[in-house]
A and B are shown apart, each in its own frame.
Chain A
Amino acid sequence: MDQLLMNSGFPILSVLIFLPLAGALLLIFVKSEQLCRYLALVVTSLVALLSLRLIAGFDITTAKFQFVEQHTWIKAFNINYIIGVDGISILLILLTTLIMPLCVLASWSYIKTRVQTFMACLLIMETAMIGVFVALDLVLFYILWEAMLIPMYLLIGIWGGPRKIYASIKFFLYTLAGSILLLVGIIWLYATNNYSFFIPGMMWQNYPITSQIYLFLAFFLAFAIKVPMFPFHTWLPAAHVEAPTAGSVILASILLKMGTYGFLRFALPITPEATVILMPYVLWLSIAGIIYGGFTALAQSDMKKLIAYSSVGHMGFVTLGIFVLNIRGIEGAILQMVNHGITTGALFLCVGMIYERTHSRELRSATGVGKYMPIYITFLAFFSLSSFGFPGTNSFVGEFMIIAGAFQFDTVLHKFPYLALASIPGAVLAAAYMLRMLQKIIWGGTNNPDQSWITDLNSREIVVLAPFLFFVLWIGLGPQPFIDLMHTSVTQLLQQFDAHQAHSIAAAGSLFQ
């Protein structure tokens, strides 16, 4: 229990978790659609404001879990309600709380049917997502992790595009099937750890190596599907394409992060030896994802699909950063998780705004709008540049750190940067497909459809996009405060890891040659 720190009398995390849920319950009694929208906006904004308190009270000099709350929940199984934040999760929580009000705003006019249910789904999602990031009890984590599927399924299945049925069921089945073995792993951990589900208590326990490998594989299946890593990515394009804009944004910005968060929170500390043994495979899968995502995105004519495949590539960078297992890589990965959330979320919003006007996601029908939508393409240009890691934008910092980490990993192991070199084409491909999209949308060609009727962004849409741009530039130009937040936790994670691993890293190196 020494990993916990109670530095706040006010149960801020519980408030963040339960406020949206209370909002969702309140929605049941609201009859007017407009009132539903306002209520959801107020609740999510309130949560966002309250979450800022986390930064104010966060102590960056300790790697312990902070703002901890602890209550007995189910005594017979020693299940407790324990929640806390550390440097790894704090940015993801803030990302979640800050994006949700924007999702509500983005759905303001897009969602016309069953507004009440829609907003309730969004709010329940928020509860579950924040809960997943702060849960320090495995059962609590698993319950929220699974419970998230229901509102997300409904978001895609009810308000989705033409193939929503196929996409929503595929999403549900894929993710559920992935986390089934996670449940078995959780029960194994429970039985092995003196019947306790306390997550920090399970870390660094020197489990037998074969158990670790099975456990790692169970974790891997669940998290790799969520990330999604190549070759478990096939649900993602379907889900992204069919989901309504807010659904796509939540999916891209937050849900995908849960997979990589899972690797950092569970796979590394609980199964360190297995991580080292299986690391090469994960790394090469990441590289495969980067390249595959890039090439596939290049071939898309559907804007949402293009961004969905680009996500596969970007998330490949994140897993690459995590599994090179050095400070630059992991910090870069966490930063890149946030960056991807911001940039891809914003890109989905941009596509959604075009879709609201042209009712098509085809690149063909959106060509040449630059002349009529100057504000829109300004935003779009920034986000596109950010997406392929243009210097000065947020993704540049993240990708740079990850590739630097990969170089460092290579030099420690075998003098030649196989891994870093292999990931470079991904960055080039990203530039190619984003610029292609940008070029077509802004200028297009000689046979552009007539776009003169199209209207530029209204003030609500500008309000939605502006915060994203703010963070794109802030993280791009001054990333230090963000890295400071995570630095102590990541250092601590790696120290513990190295203490366990000093010898096995070298052994694993031989797998590469």
Chain B
Amino acid sequence: MLFLPELTLLGVGLVFFFLSLGEPSSAKVKNVAIALSALVVLVTLMCLKSEGELFYKAYRVDFFSQLFKFLIALATLIVLIFSDQLPGVKEKIQSEYYLFLFVAVLGLMMLVSSVELLAIFVSLELSSFAVYIMVPLRNKASGAGTQVEAGIKYLLFGVMATGFMLFGMSYIFGLTGSTQLFVIADKLNLSSTQPAAVVAIVLVLAGFFYKLALFPLHFWVPDVYEGAANETTAFIAAVPKLAAVALLIRIVALINTETEVIVNILVVCALLSMFYGNLSALVQKDAKRLLGFSGIAHAGFVLVGLLTLENTGYAAAMYYIIGYVFMNLACFLVICTVSDKGRNVAIEDFTGLHKRAPLLAITLTVGLFALAGIPPFVGFYGKFQLLVEAFKQGHLLLVILAAVNTAIAIYYYLSIVRVTFCTDSENRGAIISSRKNNVLSVLLIVIIIVMGVLPSKFMELTTTAVQAVM
């Protein structure tokens, strides 16, 4: 029962393995994928309340991990629904694509439950390698050769980040003689003023900075976002980030509150992320690249919550990343639907969208305004929470600069809204959006608004989840 979601995913993976032996049509594979993904969501929902430890305490099942597993499954389902029949992926290998996708999800789910360094490493690699393969699976017609470059970049940067992380883990093991996070937390408290401990923790964090696309491990983002198929990018932009934040919360909780060095490093990373992401996004023409840079900036915001080293701060970070996933998925839903045969979408392609597909235009606008942090959407409330928590810990300058970043960011979000709403369609044809996409759009809009206007219930969830970590 404790391991049920993971076992289910393993089963799902096997199904696709067998499907890949034949040559089923993409529509059929798609339906299987959606059905099985929905099953995974149900299973994670069922297991939401389970608690326990597995594998000699290397694997911890608590409300925190289960909530994240549910969100990971949900986000995957949403991506699968709106990615239609994977127009950006070669038809022949779609079963394999789903196989890797579900293996990646399996890795991420294992990751959020891991509380032991080796378990963390293994599950991180499991998820990473599956995604490394998904990137170059894009077909030539839509990718125009960029997909291979993106795949290589993703792999090389990923391996480098993993190298850092392993190096840091070896230090931690050397300092504490254990790989269990809870044991480490006790022992490291005594010695955390040592430079070695600081270096070790920072290096371990680096591995997750890479997943979350935080400065200075963000370099892969623009090219991978651009080179991967739209559906793959949607997945990369949302799902792994959830797991990364989960693990960051677990690891940051190790840090002694008196270690100013680490907090200062995190502050600097957060600020550089925001400024780098927002300033680079200002000049982007490609919608996915733009969202990639904006993602770097948002990762900086998430870090603001983590560096408070307080439970309320972690809860705020968690709230923010959940909100971010929904806003981001709303934008990617539109990108995937607008995209012509899986090609990349330039900002110009949204021209006159209000006429060509009114619902999509509204979805995109809501998503973008939410990302920009304009009330009443979830983006505002998430940012507000983060700023309040950071302020409570005395990071006034950080709060001011983060607020300034909101003002910078609005420009590029508005530039998309402008194209979407304030231009004529110039003979571009209407966009047909399937019924399930429409339902999903409305659903995402509702979630984005409700999480922004009535956040109490969701905050209770995140707070209980974070308390379960300790």
Contact = CB atoms under 8 A, between A and B. Distances in A.
Interface of A: 73-77, 114, 117, 139, 142-144, 146-147, 149-150, 153-154, 157-158, 164-165, 168-169, 172-173, 176-177, 180-181, 183-184, 187-188, 190-191
Interface residue SS majority, chain B: helix
B375 A146 contact: yes
A168 B456 CA distance: 34
Given A143-B380, A158-B421, A165-B422, A191 B375 contact: no
A184 B369 contact: no
Contacts of B421: 154, 157-158
B455 interface: yes
14 contacts: A76-B459, A143-B380, A144-B375, A146-B374, A149-B374, A153-B417, A154-B421, A168-B418, A169-B418, A173-B410, A173-B411, A176-B374, A176-B406, A184-B396
Contacts of A146: 374-375, 380
A150 B407 contact: no
Contacts of B403: 180-181, 183-184
Nearest to B315: A76
B452 to A, nearest CB: 9
Given A180-B406, A180-B407, A184-B400, A76 B418 contact: no
A168 B411 CA distance: 11
Contacts of B460: 76
A74 B375 contact: no
Contacts of B20: none
Given A147-B374, A168-B418, A181-B400, A74 B455 contact: yes
A143 B422 contact: no
B384 interface: yes
Interface string B39-82: 00000000000000000000000000000000000000000000
The 10 closest A-B pairs by CB, nearest first: A143-B375, A157-B422, A177-B407, A180-B403, A187-B391, A146-B375, A147-B375, A180-B407, A76-B459, A74-B456
Given A76-B456, A180-B407, A190 B376 contact: no
Interface residues of B, number: 32
Given A172-B410, A181-B400, A77 B385 contact: yes
B376 A147 contact: yes
B388 interface: yes
Given A173-B414, A180-B403, A184-B387, 11 more contacts: A74-B456, A76-B456, A146-B375, A147-B375, A154-B421, A169-B415, A176-B407, A180-B407, A187-B399, A190-B388, A191-B391
Given A150-B369, A180-B404, A183-B403, A169 B414 contact: yes
A191 B392 contact: yes
B463 interface: yes
Contacts of A187: 387-388, 391, 399
A161 to B, nearest CB: 12
Nearest to A190: B388
B339 to A, nearest CB: 25
B407 A139 contact: no
Interface string B420-463: 01100000000000000000000000000000000110011001
Contacts of B455: 74
Contact of B422 (A147, A158, A183): A158
B376 A172 contact: no
Contacts of A181: 400, 403
Contacts of B384: 139, 183
A143 B400 contact: no
Contacts of A75: 456
B411 to A, nearest CB: 6
A391 B380 CA distance: 48
Contacts of A164: 422
A404 B350 CA distance: 56
B414 A153 contact: yes
A257 B391 CA distance: 31
